[in-house]
Structure 1
């Protein structure tokens, strides 16, 4: 209180008698500047965290999907982050929202089925080219394996 009276006594004659509370006394720290600096640092870090969370939104959404979709979305997000081009981020967001259909599984299944059918309709081996009776017994085993696979595939299709 004594320091405040000294300040009031040493005031410039044209200064007002009432000094606002945010003006520091001589020799004291400026609490308004300190508070503003802390607020500014907290806001910059908070906005940065929000920006990065928002920027990785498509990446986190695609993480649940297929690996190829996730990798494409991740690359688009990185390109958008480093180039500041919002078109890449929007493309990544749309790609993350739309699931990519699985084209590979049906095609592989069809190829496997066609291979089994092609083996079952193979022409019988020429007896003149047959090297030994052992090969004939192996052919019988292969034919029975193919028949078992066809039976298994038919039963799997009936279940599905």
Structure 2
């Protein structure tokens, strides 16, 4: 069976037009390029979106969790204000109030004559409170006996 062109069809067809039943190579190539482009743009978007979180994590900021939550909120709500706030918070160094306060507390313990333990008690360990309370009661009784 010989195929004949329709009389109204052009005699010189472009190379991307295929015969009926043949594989359309151009469509396959365009599909693969489209999938690759979507994956690349999605990867770049997610990398850009997680930039504040990576900045805060790399510099070991105290506010890392807040920046991470702001990034998730902005991802799910598409509200870019949360991303901008997270980015600014990741760039700002919050002052460390904990270290000087621990130093002051240690100095006050030394002045008060209370023994400092090498490791601070674990706040989740409920047995750690018993020796501290026992020391306070002993110190209170000793102080009362010394003044009597």
- TM-score by length of structure 2 reads 0.71
Which protein has the bigger helix share?
1
Aligned length: 119
Asked if structure 2 preserves the Cα contact closer than 8 Å seen for 1:65 and 1:99, the reply is no
Q: CA deviation at 1:104?
A: 0.9
- Residue matched to 1:129: 145
SS in 2 for 1:129: helix
Q: CA deviation at 1:32?
A: 1.2
2:91 corresponds to 1:97:
yes
- Residue matched to 1:27: 21
| In 1, Cα distance between equivalents of 2:59 and 2:106 | 26
- Residue matched to 1:155: none
Q: Rg bigger for which structure?
A: 1
| In 1, Cα distance between equivalents of 2:145 and 2:110 | 24
Q: Which runs of 5+ in 2 are unaligned?
A: 115-141
Deviations 1:115-158 (A, max 9, x none): 323449xxxx78x935xxxxxxxxxxxxxxxxxxxxxxxxxxxx
Runs of 4+ in 1 over 6 A off after TM superposition: none
Asked if structure 2 preserves the Cα contact closer than 8 Å seen for 1:76 and 1:91, the reply is yes
Q: CA deviation at 1:68?
A: 3.3
Root-mean-square deviation (Å) = 2.4
- TM-score by length of structure 1 reads 0.66
| In 2, Cα distance between equivalents of 1:26 and 1:19 | 14
Q: Which runs of 5+ in 1 are unaligned?
A: 131-160
SS in 2 for 1:68: coil
Asked if structure 1 preserves the Cα contact closer than 8 Å seen for 2:61 and 2:93, the reply is no
Asked if structure 2 preserves the Cα contact closer than 8 Å seen for 1:63 and 1:70, the reply is yes
| In 2, Cα distance between equivalents of 1:46 and 1:66 | 29
Deviations 1:71-121 (A, max 9, x none): 11111111111111100101111111112221111122122223323449x
2:34 corresponds to 1:18:
no
- Residue matched to 2:58: 64
2:90 corresponds to 1:116:
no
